[in-house]
Amino acid sequence: MSRASLRFLYFSISAVVILGDRLTKLMIGRNVELNFGNITIIPNFFSITHVENTGAAFSLFADWPQRIRIPLLVGFSTVAMIVVCYMLWKSAAKFTCAGLALALILGGAIGNLYDRILFGRVTDFLHFYIGNHMWPDFNLADSAIVCGATLLFIDLIFGSKSAHSRS
């Protein structure tokens, strides 16, 4: 696969994440009541909700003043996206787990950045829980970022060992 084709593939993966994130957030916004909607999918485990997160992951910085919080989060996301884009562009020699991970992270970062710039908040709707124990609500963009970070971690731990063992 040529470098151009591989770059196209990686950035297409990011675009699919962005599109999926936008579509799911629009569907939730139109069909699930904010802060009160709750559609049980798997009883006592998973439901669809509609909440808005003004902070970062797990509502970090949500209580900071908006004039500080939004530029901080937008700035951090922008720098991270530039770094990821650069890494994807420069490393597109062959399809790798790390390249896929970066594509997922980029798509997720852009998906959440779009919301943060336009609305000052991010729509979250995936709600997992067991009894009274709940995981903070999240969205498709968050999922892509976590999956990408997990793939990077796996590649870091196991990828280098297999590469060294082949030499």
137 is catalytic: no
Report d(CA 81, CA 127) in Å as an integer: 27
Catalytic residue among 21, 124, 137, 155, which?
124
CB 151 within 8 A of CB 100: yes
CB-based burial of residue 21 (10 Å sphere; 0-12 exposed, 13-18 middle, 19+ buried)? buried
CB 99 within 8 A of CB 10: yes
CB 71 within 8 A of CB 158: no
155 is catalytic: no
Which tokens sit at 133?
A: 């124990």
Catalytic residue among 21, 115, 137, 142, which?
142
Please list, in sequence order, all residues whose beta carbon lies within 8 angstroms of the beta carbon of residue 84, skipping any fewer than 6 positions away. Answer: 102, 105, 106, 109
Secondary structure of residue 50 in the 3-state scheme: strand
Catalytic residues: 124, 142
